[in-house]
Amino acid sequence: QVIYLNGEYVSKEDAKISVFDHGFLYGDGIFEGIRIYGGNIFKCKEHLDRLYDSAKSIMLDIPLAYDEMEQALIETIRKNALRDGYIRLVVSRGPGNLGLDPKRCPKAWVIIIVEQLAIYPEEAYRDGLVSVSVSQRRNIPDALNPKIKSLNYLNNILVKIQANLAGVGEAIMLNSQGYVAEGSSDNIFIIKRGVVYTPPCYVGALEGITRATIIELCEKLGYSLKEEPFTLHDVYVADEVFFTGTAAEVIAVREVDGRTIGGGKAGPITTHLLGEFRKTVEVDGVK
Ligand code: PLP
């Protein structure tokens, strides 16, 4: 495995960061998770746009221009000879001193790791996941804006811990007003009477790139799609529920908090959307 570290390609063993790195000390930095399908970087532009927007929002200077970053991604994939996998792109504020002041960090660090990936077995896509809602709340824009994909993932990790305790793969997080926001690392959709719903991002969700792809597919396939806030009640009585994310793609949910969703397996619209999603991934992106 070859890792991109500030312009150099190094082995996994040599890919090390300083204990004074502010990404490490304070979670001061941003990241992206990106898929490679058939040698293509899926939605490369969308991911880089989100990365540079997150950087601007937190006043982090990415030391690479947009095309240099794209080239670094392509080169890292090439060096790892990977056709299908996952890219983790991290930009940390870089090494500084022990104080939290970012002015003490002269240069951001860029790290690119590419890896194989299979988070759910294929049966899970047919049978659906069991999920639960958790007590951890998603911050809405009065705190750190969820649109920033920052290295501060403790909130999401606390959701994941609650999911682990419940023995499920993904959990549902509400916002402080009780509206459904998203999962620990996935967006959520529900379907009722043929209409597809997903929470608007202002409810407290990342502007997921898979989410956007599914919204586009719904338009293309003629499904009515509404971005509106909904509650757990709406999830319990939905005909279908699914999560979307770079790693999970489109994964059905068959049970939430002990309530069986629809027929207790991936429903017809979810299955259709997953099939169409998988058709699009091979052709999109740069080689
Ligand atoms: N929500 C959160 C909190 C995430 O970390 C992710 C993963 O990136 C998502 C949603 C899904 O977003 P995307 O489809 O861009 O991977």
CATH class for the region spanning 122-281 = alpha beta
Atom in ligand 1 nearest the alpha carbon of residue 32 = 8
Q: Which two tokens stand for residue 134?
A: 């958790």
Marked catalytic residue, from 12, 149, 226, 279: 149
Nearest to 180 by CA among 240, 142, 236: 236
Atom in ligand 1 nearest the alpha carbon of residue 246 = 16
Atom in ligand 1 nearest the alpha carbon of residue 213 = 14
Buried b (16+ CB within 10 A) or exposed e, 204-222: bbbebbbbebbbebbeeee
Using the mean position of ligand 1's atoms as its centre, give its distance from the Cα of residue 104 in Å.
Answer: 30
In this structure, whether the domain defined by 2-115 belongs to CATH 3.30.470.10 is answered with: yes
Cβ(54) to ligand 1 under 6 A? Answer: no
Using the mean position of ligand 1's atoms as its centre, give its distance from the Cα of residue 212 in Å.
Answer: 11
Query: 39 φ, ψ to 5°?
Result: 85, -5
Q: What is the residue extent of each domain of the chain?
A: 2-115, 122-281
| This prediction's pTM | 0.95
Per-residue pLDDT of the chain (287 residues; tens, 9 = 90+): 999 999 999 999 999 999 999 999 999 999 999 999 999 999 999 999 999 999 999 999 999 999 999 999 999 999 999 999 999 999 999 999 999 999 999 999 999 999 998 789 999 999 999 999 999 888 776 678 888 999 999 999 999 999 999 999 999 999 999 999 999 999 999 999 999 999 999 999 999 999 999 999 999 999 999 999 999 999 999 999 999 999 999 999 999 999 999 999 999 999 999 999 999 997 655 54
Q: Which residue's CA is the nearest one to ligand 1's atom 9?
A: 186
Using the mean position of ligand 1's atoms as its centre, give its distance from the Cα of residue 14 in Å.
Answer: 29
ipTM of the complex: 0.99
Residue 149 a catalytic site member: yes
Tell which one of 30, 41, 246 to mutate to probe ligand 1, the residue whose CB is within 8 A of the most ligand atoms.
Answer: 246
78 contact partners, CB below 8 Å, separation of at least 6? none
CA atoms within 13 A on the CB side of 12: 5
